Structure 1
Amino acid sequence: MGINIKGLTKNYGAQVALNQVSFSIKKGEVVGLLGPNGAGKSTLMKSVTGAILPDDGDVLVDEFSVIKQPIETKKRIGFLLENNPLYYDMYVREYLKFVANIREEKKERIEEVIEKVGLIPESHKKIGQLSKGYKQRVGLAQAILSNPDILILDEPTNGLDPNQILEIREVIREIGKSKTVILSTHIMQEVEALCSRVILLNKGNIVSDSPIEEFKGQYKSLEDAFYQLTQSK
């Protein structure tokens, strides 16, 4: 149970976005996916979700192939995109009901996730009326609505104030006890607070894949490790 990525390759013309990337993540792991802009993180996450197809390789989600069994893999994944696309003219509950209908989830689940991500105070409003932080909570709510085995979070605390960050961290930490979580972020404090392992991408290649304590132990800090491993020689 989890994710198994095998020789994932994706090119955009002459640009290599992913170069034979392989790794696996077990159930109950929260893994930090790091890398500078253009490293291949977004391409990797979109390949795992089936949003784009690789040129070579495959992704297995709970032993189902993203390429050969896309419906089965999509059922098992929740995805929060960095730009968090939402329908601003819909009310919070209306939007989550819309998502629940698509995923064939019970209506009771909507109230559960609203409470879980701290949306209750703003749940009567249209999404377009919400602050950036509360819009982010709506995005997280839709990602966990179907109780997915795999949760992929791209900058999940983007736009949140310090108190909200702590609250969402706790939600992610709780989810990570029983799910497989990939957390992509540029905020090193998030990685330190939530992740047991770090995968660092640079120019489409994995340059480090190790437990976070080992990763930190080799360098002065996570920031220093990031800098040293991603600088062009």
Structure 2
Amino acid sequence: MAARILLLAALVISITCSDIAFAFDPSPLQDFCVADLQKPVLVNGYACKDPKLVKAEDFYFSGLNREGNTSNPFGSIATRITVTQVPGFNTLGISIARADFAPGGVNPPHFHPRATEILTVLKGTLEAGFVTSNPENRLFTKVLRPGDLFVAPKGMIHFQKNIGRGKAVALASLGSQNPGVVTVPNTVFGSHPRISTDILAKAFQVDQFRIQQIQKNF
């Protein structure tokens, strides 16, 4: 009897592990899968280019040394390098961005739905932080100087502000070839079509006139 129970347990474990193995493959199955940006087929990413046609340029990008234009209401700009710019990122789960800040510039609260972010400061002084999910809504924040880094976990709303006297530059390393970005004020107040003012007024506990005034900025 005990032997039968043991055999049944082993069979259940075997089936369960088999299902898990077939359900998710966490690692690439070849050296690389350079994105073929011309093919219409998308399989949670881009189809692979014929390896015989792959070139060194598929893994290369030049231009992260160029300063971004921060002449905008936020005083910051992010130059994002994803699989679209570097086809070799495809299936590797990585991308990068350069963030430039004017004095007092802010990268407003936002989140990446598909990636954790590691922010490394190269120049200037930044205040960086993120907020945990409901119900705690706990704020973690830190002042960063050249050589410092700060991690914003996947899906957490985070921000940066230049609190130094001069310009600031940082590199953001992201754990997805296409991390996506949802900028909270743009999304909430600048959607197309607009979210109803009565919904936003109740959500932010203000009158509809104030919501309309904010929406005009977006």
TM-score by length of 1: 0.23
Bigger relative contact order (CA 8 A; separation at least 6): 1
If the length of structure 2 is used for normalisation, what is the TM-score? 0.24
Higher helix share: 1
